Structures are given as C-alpha cells and as structure tokens.
Homo-oligomer: A and B are copies of this chain.
C-alpha cells in the first residue's frame, strides 16, 4: 500500500506518517520521554529511526511512561520516508533496539494521526505478586507484597473511581506558572477492576480517556492499603472527593505498571 505523502519537494525525500506499536521493558530506561544524557525509550527509537531513515525523525508517544514503567501497547507516531518498507523497518528497528524495546507492528497512518492527541483511551495494568516469597522471573514486572491482600475489598474500593471525576487526590500536581490556569485534573475512567491471574498474582486494570501524572500508581498504592486492611473499601469515595493528595497512600512502585493498550477511533 502506498502511504499518503506529507510533502513533495524537490530536494527532500517524500515523507509519510507511520504508526508503530511498541513494547518495552522499562527497567533499563529513565522513562519514555526524551531526556538528554540518560537512556529513554523515545531516545532509543529516535536514534534508530533516524539511522534507518537517514534523516532526523521525531517520535510522539501516546503515553509518557515514567522510569521503570513498562509497555506492551505503546503507540508511537512519526514521519519517515514514504518509500520505507515497513516490514524491513520492523526488523531493522528490532535489531537496533531489541530486546528491551520491540516494535511489534508498523503501519501507515493518515497525515493527521497523532499518537497522543488522537488517542481516545489508555489502558494500564498493574501486577502485584502477593506471596510470602518473591519470584525471580517477575522481579522487575510485579510489585511483591508479602502481606496477604483481601481481593474482594480491593475490588469493592474500585467502584467510586468509575466515571468522570477530579483526580487531584491521586495525582502529582504539575507546576503552574504565575498567572496561568492550573491544568484540569478531571479524567473519565471507563474501567477499574482487579482479577487474580493466578493464586498469588493480582492484576489491576484501569482504562480512562487520559491519566494525570502518577495517577495509576497512586490509586494502586491506596487500593493495596485497603487490601491490607489499613483502610476500608468505603474510604475510597471520601479520598477521591477530598481533592487532597495527602489523603491517598504512598504511590506503588513503577515496575508493576504496564501501558497495555491505547485506543483510537476506528480508521484513525
């Protein structure tokens, strides 16, 4: 399939917008976003794409995952030469960035597709190993909690999260310059629930139109305190309504978190 070209000029190669589906183990990176001097996912992808494309390429990610946070379904948009063979590109990028970063799929997108602004929802998973002993094979992808957790109580505490709310209680507030409006902390949560993937492996799934900074980890930290019996499931609504971050528990560690999928309008 021939991609829609973005520019046709004399001395520059015609470029087109591509969409990549990317998985990464965040353990080795200081997060997704470019940050000069430290290894980041966007940094590795930018370098590899620029090398393969023989031109400077910029990448846009659907979600800015923090240091140590993983992804199975991060979506990246970028402009690359329209002549690119996408199957070859996948192999080249995986040879350069793998196995910590893996490009799972690549396709051409419409010129106005934007990985971040076109996204309709983000779906995160948070994994807790609830066992007296650790597991060496998931040490960097699950939070190990020794104390037995009450799954039913944690599930019940999810209910108040569903719907549109101000999530200030669960978010790190961004700095606001003098005279500027503070950013809205209102988000729409479509799904929030726990399930046991195995006897000792508890998985929290949450889907929302967007997330504030550290929102999933702050919610998980609080829900786990409910599971430990330190708080009651019924306390959750009050914490949410308070709009006060000091009401929530310490945030859960980053390595249990994974950006599972990002949703777009059909045909985007």
Contacts and interface: CB of A to CB of B under 8 A. Distances in A.
Interface of A: 23-25, 70, 72, 90, 94, 98-104, 132-137, 139, 141, 144
Contacts of A101: 136
Contact of A134 (B94, B134, B139, B141): B94
Contact of A137 (B25, B98, B144): B25
Chain B CB count within 10 A is highest, among A24, A100, A101, A137, for A137
B133 A137 contact: no
Given A133-B90, A133-B104, A25 B98 contact: no
B102 A24 contact: no
A99 B139 contact: yes
Contacts of A90: 132-133
Contact of A133 (B24, B70, B102, B134): B102
B25 A99 contact: no
B139 A94 contact: no
Contact of A98 (B70, B99, B102, B136): B136
Contacts of A141: 137
B23 A99 contact: no
Contacts of A102: 133-136
A101 B25 CA distance: 21
Contacts of A139: 25, 98-100
B25 A133 contact: no
Contacts of A103: 133
A144 B99 CA distance: 10
8 contacts: A23-B137, A90-B133, A94-B133, A98-B134, A99-B134, A99-B135, A99-B139, A101-B136
B94 A136 contact: no
A94 B99 CA distance: 28
Contacts of A134: 94, 98-99, 102
Contacts of A70: 136-137
A70 B78 CA distance: 39
Chain B CB count within 10 A is highest, among A72, A102, A141, for A102
Nearest to A95: B134
A135 B70 CA distance: 12
A90 B70 CA distance: 30
Going nearest first, the 9 A-B pairs with the smallest beta carbon separation are: A99-B139, A25-B136, A99-B134, A98-B134, A102-B134, A102-B136, A99-B136, A23-B136, A104-B133
Contacts of A98: 134, 136, 139
